[in-house]
Amino acid sequence: MITILQRVREARVEVAGEVVGQIGPGLLALVCAERGDTEAEADRLLAKLLKLRIFSDEAGKMNRSVQDIGGGLLLVSQFTLAADTTTGNRPGFSQAAAPEDGRRLFDYFVAQARAAHPVVQTGRFATEMQVYLVNDGPVTIPLRIAPVIQK
């Protein structure tokens, strides 16, 4: 699974002019399931996301997690993170999970996030969305959780 995390002062997602998800300080996470991903990768990604220390402490050092500060999570599905741009000028998306698998894993990820964290909002899967954010820092962190290969 892939995510782009953005530390935000505030963020929101709109669909057709309607706000469908909104947070104050916290993390905006653009989330993509890739072919072969399972719930295990979703669990590892969520654990990393919740514990990643990218918020400042009293000394201004990145030493606090979103859980430490009680910040919000805004989770937005984005299959385009799996873009392959190695050839030509049009990205290919063959590494993205099939839509039904992507939806299942994103829904699982959201459910697990809601069970583990008090403030979780989302966009709408497979919908044209407008995402608005005030990036804090700016701090933008890519995370990729690869499948564990069983021997």
Residues labelled catalytic: 78-80
DSSP assignment string, 54-106: -EE-TTS-EEE-HHHHT-EEEEEE-GGGG-B-SSSSS-B-TTBPPHHHHHHHH
Q: What is the DSSP letter of 119?
A: -
Contacts of 120 (CB under 8 A, 6+ apart): 72, 73, 75, 110, 113, 114
**CA–CA separation, 45 and 151 (whole Å):** 22
Question: Which residues fall within 8 angstroms of residue 76, CB to CB, at 6 or more apart?
Answer: 13, 21, 28, 29, 30, 31, 122, 123, 129, 131
